[in-house]
């Protein structure tokens, strides 16, 4: 038993036949029973990793262990994995019941029809699709097809569930509902789950932890809140957060951090937050819109270009040094477009990055 590292990926690399290095020396682990989100922009290598875990793709080098045992030489069908694909991949000519039973009625783990039906029905109850048993996939909504695909992935009682962008074919409202359902379902079944998404809000809402990738490299492997509060680098700070973080070009010299129209003393920053010494030079100072707010004593002057309503809050949009920035304020703000205002940053919540994206503060 190896519950802390139930799934372990060590120095995994994948170079495709055309020479493209899609995964570059990736290592991570997943705790038994956790729902972990693999997050990242299109093309960062999320599906490549899932396919290597499932055994549909061979790694170029590195190792994959399930419950402490290497599976790189294990056939896909013997890896005890359930896979839910983005397009669900249901059999159109079969009914829902037949689809869900299917994995139990083929291959070397084949079991008797009546027994298969009983197991299928158990998971159809869990996924609330019993009343759809006799329908064909073409007659179902996206959300219903999704549940059939999940039930079919669960019938073999796999040790690990892999889900590749399972919500991308659903409309926004249904996506919110189904993601909560997926989380409570996998927690009820207790199955260790890797869930691929490019949607940071989805990852933050359902993941026990998140592994964020870019260009085949892990950028951060952490609890959701740390992507907000302690991003590892510029990419992470900009990928996570809605509205997106504000970035200001600054120069550090003589103990001051200078932007085109504001200045901060280095001594005013929280000295415990420095990752390393802030040498003179050019940097990017970043602050989340909720941490730069209207304040008469503020150090940033802003001309409000636009005010956007986003439900319970408003975004004040302003241009600084030719770049758009945002301040997230409450709904009742009296501030209007074309107002000239002052904004104050929470200096214990700003980040400073080198031009290469390395975090200094
Ligand atoms: P998306 O969210 O768009 O599905 P992803 O993060 O899942 O993206 P992958 O599908 O894993 O990304 O692809 C990673 C990289 O590898 C991409 O640059 C892709 O173009 C490339 N790639 C994927 N499959 C192959 C292949 N068979 N041959 C060559 N390159 C490939």
Q: For residue 318, how far is its CA from the centre of ligand 1 (angstroms)?
A: 37
Per-residue pLDDT of the chain (361 residues; tens, 9 = 90+): 679 999 999 999 999 999 999 999 999 999 999 999 999 999 999 999 999 999 999 999 999 999 999 999 999 989 999 999 888 889 999 999 999 999 999 877 789 999 999 999 999 998 889 999 999 999 998 888 988 999 999 998 899 999 999 888 778 888 888 889 889 989 988 999 999 999 999 999 999 999 999 999 999 999 999 999 999 999 999 999 999 999 999 999 999 999 988 999 999 999 999 999 999 999 999 999 999 999 999 989 999 999 999 989 999 999 988 889 999 999 999 999 999 999 999 999 999 999 999 999 9
Bridge partners of 233? 358
User: What CA–CA distances, in Å, run from 34 to 5, 123, 206?
Assistant: 11, 20, 10
Q: For residue 22, how far is its CA from the centre of ligand 1 (angstroms)?
A: 7
Neighbours of 226 (CB within 10 A): 16
Q: Are 231 and 359 in contact (CB under 8 A)?
A: yes
Pick the CATH number of 243-353 from 3.40.1160.10, 3.40.1360.10, 2.40.50.140, 1.10.1040.10: 2.40.50.140
Q: What atom in ligand 1 is closest to the CA of residue 14?
A: 16
Q: Which residue among 16, 42, 203 has the greatest number of ligand 1 atoms within 8 angstroms of its CB, and so is best to mutate?
A: 16
Q: What atom in ligand 1 is closest to the CA of residue 40?
A: 6
Q: Is 56 in the pocket of ligand 1 (CB under 6 A)?
A: no
Checking DSSP bridges between strand 192-197 and strand 160-164, what pairing results, if any?
A: parallel
In this predicted structure, what is the pLDDT of residue 19? 96
Find tokens 């590749």 and name the residue: 164
Q: Is 46 in the pocket of ligand 1 (CB under 6 A)?
A: yes
Q: Starting at the edge strand that comes first in sequence, how are the strands of the sheet with 246-253 ordered?
A: 263-265, 256-258, 246-253, 281-287, 351-353
- ipTM of predicted assembly, 2 dp: 0.96
Q: For residue 44, how far is its CA from the centre of ligand 1 (angstroms)?
A: 7
In this predicted structure, what is the pLDDT of residue 109? 73
Q: Is 310 helix (H, G, I), strand (E, B) or coil?
A: strand
- Residue with the smallest CA separation from ligand 1 atom 9 is 45
Domain limits, the chain: 7-238, 243-353
Q: Are 162 and 83 in contact (CB under 8 A)?
A: yes
Q: Is 229 helix (H, G, I), strand (E, B) or coil?
A: helix
- Residue with the smallest CA separation from ligand 1 atom 3 is 42
Burial of 143 from C-beta contacts in 10 A (0-12 / 13-18 / 19+): middle
CA 78 to CA 304: how far, in whole Å? Answer: 60
Checking DSSP bridges between strand 81-84 and strand 160-164, what pairing results, if any?
A: parallel
Burial of 230 from C-beta contacts in 10 A (0-12 / 13-18 / 19+): middle
What size, in residues, is the chain? 361
Query: Which among 233, 236, 215, 213 has a CA at the least distance from the CA of 357?
Result: 233
Bridge partners of 264? 257
In this predicted structure, what is the pLDDT of residue 192? 97
CATH class of 7-238: alpha beta
CA 111 to CA 108: how far, in whole Å? Answer: 9
Q: Are 299 and 264 in contact (CB under 8 A)?
A: yes
In this predicted structure, what is the pLDDT of residue 178? 85
Q: For residue 21, how far is its CA from the centre of ligand 1 (angstroms)?
A: 10
Q: Is 24 in the pocket of ligand 1 (CB under 6 A)?
A: no
Q: For residue 156, how far is its CA from the centre of ligand 1 (angstroms)?
A: 28
Neighbours of 109 (CB within 10 A): 11
CA 318 to CA 91: how far, in whole Å? Answer: 52
Q: Which helix (H) or strand (E) element contains residue 291? A: none
Find tokens 């001309």 and name the residue: 303
Q: Which residue among 22, 37, 163 has the greatest number of ligand 1 atoms within 8 angstroms of its CB, and so is best to mutate?
A: 22
Q: Is 22 in the pocket of ligand 1 (CB under 6 A)?
A: yes
- Residue with the smallest CA separation from ligand 1 atom 27 is 16
CA 238 to CA 157: how far, in whole Å? Answer: 39
Does pTM surpass 0.80? yes
Helices 142-154 and 113-126 meet at what angle, rounded to 10?
A: 130
CA 179 to CA 345: how far, in whole Å? Answer: 34
CA 197 to CA 113: how far, in whole Å? Answer: 36
- Taking the CA atoms of 21, 25, 30 and 36 in sequence, report the sign of the dihedral they define: negative
Q: For residue 18, how far is its CA from the centre of ligand 1 (angstroms)?
A: 12
* 334 Cβ contact partners less than 8 Å away, ≥ 6 residues apart: none
Q: Is 198 in the pocket of ligand 1 (CB under 6 A)?
A: yes
């Amino acid at each position: 038993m190896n519950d802390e590292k139930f799934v372990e990926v060590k120095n995994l690399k994948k170079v495709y036949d055309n020479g493209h290095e899609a995964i570059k020396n990736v290592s991570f682990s997943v705790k038994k029973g956790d729902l972990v989100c693999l997050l990242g922009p299109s093309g960062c290598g999320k599906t490549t990793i899932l396919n290597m875990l499932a055994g549909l793709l061979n790694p170029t080098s590195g190792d994959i262990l399930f419950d402490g045992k290497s599976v790189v030489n294990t056939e896909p069908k013997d890896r005890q994995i359930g896979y839910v694909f983005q397009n669900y991949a249901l059999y159109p000519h079969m009914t829902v019941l037949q689809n869900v039973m299917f994995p139990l009625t083929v291959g070397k783990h084949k079991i008797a029809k009546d027994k298969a039906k009983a197991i299928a029905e158990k998971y159809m109850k869990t996924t609330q699709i019993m009343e759809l048993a006799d329908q064909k996939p073409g007659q179902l909504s996206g959300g219903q097809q999704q549940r059939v695909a999940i039930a079919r992935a669960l019938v073999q009682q796999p040790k690990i569930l892999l889900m590749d962008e399972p919500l991308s074919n659903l409309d926004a409202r249904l996506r919110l509902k189904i993601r909560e359902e997926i989380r409570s379902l996998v927690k009820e079944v207790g199955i260790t789950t890797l869930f691929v998404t490019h949607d940071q809000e989805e990852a933050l809402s359902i993941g026990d932890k998140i592994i964020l990738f870019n260009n085949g490299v892990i950028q951060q492997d952490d609890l959701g809140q740390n992507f907000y509060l302690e991003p590892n680098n510029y990419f992470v700070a900009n990928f996570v957060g809605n509205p997106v973080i504000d970035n200001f070009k600054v120069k550090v010299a003589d103990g001051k951090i200078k932007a085109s129209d504001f200045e901060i003393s280095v001594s005013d920053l929280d000295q415990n937050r420095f990752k390393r010494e802030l040498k003179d030079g050019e940097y990017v100072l970043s602050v989340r819109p909720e941490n730069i707010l209207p304040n008469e004593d503020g150090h940033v002057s802003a001309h409000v270009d636009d005010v956007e309503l986003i439900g319970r809050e408003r975004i004040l949009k302003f241009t600084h040094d030719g770049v758009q920035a945002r301040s997230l304020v409450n709904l009742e703000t009296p501030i209007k477009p074309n107002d000239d205002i002052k904004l104050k940053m929470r200096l214990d919540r700003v980040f400073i990055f080198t031009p290469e994206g390395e975090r200094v503060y």
